[in-house]
Amino acid sequence: MAGDQAPPAATPERYGPLVHRSVRHGAILWIVGVVEFIVGMIVTQVGWTTPYSLQNNYISDLGAVYCGPLDGRYVCSPWHEVFNVSIVLLGILLIVGVILIRTGFPARSSRTIGLGLLVISGFGAIGVGLSPEDVNITVHTVSALLAFAGGGLALIVLGFAMFRDTRWDGFRAFSIFCGLIGLIALVLFVAKTWGPLGVGGMERLIVAPVLLWALVCGIHLVRIPTYAPPGISGSRAQRT
């Protein structure tokens, strides 16, 4: 009939561009966690009595409590407390940051799964610091695997959670790419296919994408304007 028109096609809902203030606070915790962990590793390396090799030494060698031979290599890390405290703090800040940052992603199952995997990764990091490799190798190994696998998988899932969210434009492919790099490196690490990177270099290829992602995304979230829901003192859902 004349005048009849087809209803307009529904367009997918898009989120953004603001974030809650708690998201900014969580992002700051992620940034602090990454920076203090990197500094902790560097400081601990400086304290070694013998040259520490980024290629031939495990990251966990920095946290070894005792000096002596360990699986065919000599390990002596006088400042192991610095490393162990820094990785425990990284795990704590990652977990608390996840709680604060959760509203920075659309409320969907992929957000829940992705952030849940990040929490698992955080607990894995805490376990690594509380159980050094020469004190309890079983707990240490399981914790490391949780940290490695949880972090890589989390980035991939969160990459999909970012769809239709204007706050994450340009970050979806980056997140998935970082997660894939970390997981591929983990598979090669477990298979002892280290290549020219050596065991230390391959292990760092597992960890580096997650640290880079947390740092870059943390800085990004800090720069997004914030709001607070009505009823919160000092705010009327305004940009800050």
Q: Is residue 32 in a domain?
A: yes
- Give the integer Cα–Cα distance in Å for 200 and 123: 22
Of 160, 149, 169, 157, nearest in space to 217 by CA: 169
Domains in the chain, number: 1
What pLDDT does 71 receive? 85
Q: Is residue 230 in a domain?
A: no
Q: What is the largest CA-CA distance in the chain?
A: 89
Q: Pull the structure tokens for residue 46.
A: 């400086």
Indicate the residue type of 229: P
- Give the integer Cα–Cα distance in Å for 118 and 161: 13
| CB 184, CB 127: distance < 8 Å | no
Of 19, 179, 171, 23, nearest in space to 96 by CA: 23
Q: Is residue 6 in a domain?
A: no
Which domain, by its residues, includes 221? 19-225
| CB 147, CB 214: distance < 8 Å | no
Strand partners of residue 74: 69
Q: Is residue 164 in a domain?
A: yes
3-state secondary structure of 74: strand
Instruction: State in Å, rounded, how far the first CA of the chain is from the last one.
Output: 52
pTM of the model: 0.85
Helices (DSSP H) in the chain: which residue ranges?
21-46, 80-101, 109-130, 137-161, 172-190, 198-223
Q: Pull the structure tokens for residue 207.
A: 């960890």
Per-residue pLDDT tens for 207-222? 999 999 999 999 998 9
What pLDDT does 51 receive? 87
Over its length of 240 residues, how does the chain's per-residue pLDDT go in tens digits?
444 554 554 444 555 567 778 889 999 999 999 999 999 999 999 999 888 999 999 999 999 999 989 888 889 999 999 999 999 999 999 999 999 999 888 888 999 999 999 999 999 999 999 999 999 999 999 999 999 999 999 999 999 998 877 888 889 999 999 999 999 999 999 999 999 999 999 999 999 999 999 999 999 989 877 765 544 443 434 444
Q: Is residue 114 in a domain?
A: yes
Q: Is residue 1 in a domain?
A: no
Q: How many CB atoms lie within 10 A of CB 210?
A: 25
What pLDDT does 181 receive? 97
Indicate the residue type of 153: L
What pLDDT does 240 receive? 41
What pLDDT does 45 receive? 94
Q: Is residue 238 in a domain?
A: no
Q: Is residue 95 in a domain?
A: yes
What pLDDT does 139 receive? 96
Of 34, 22, 18, nearest in space to 223 by CA: 18
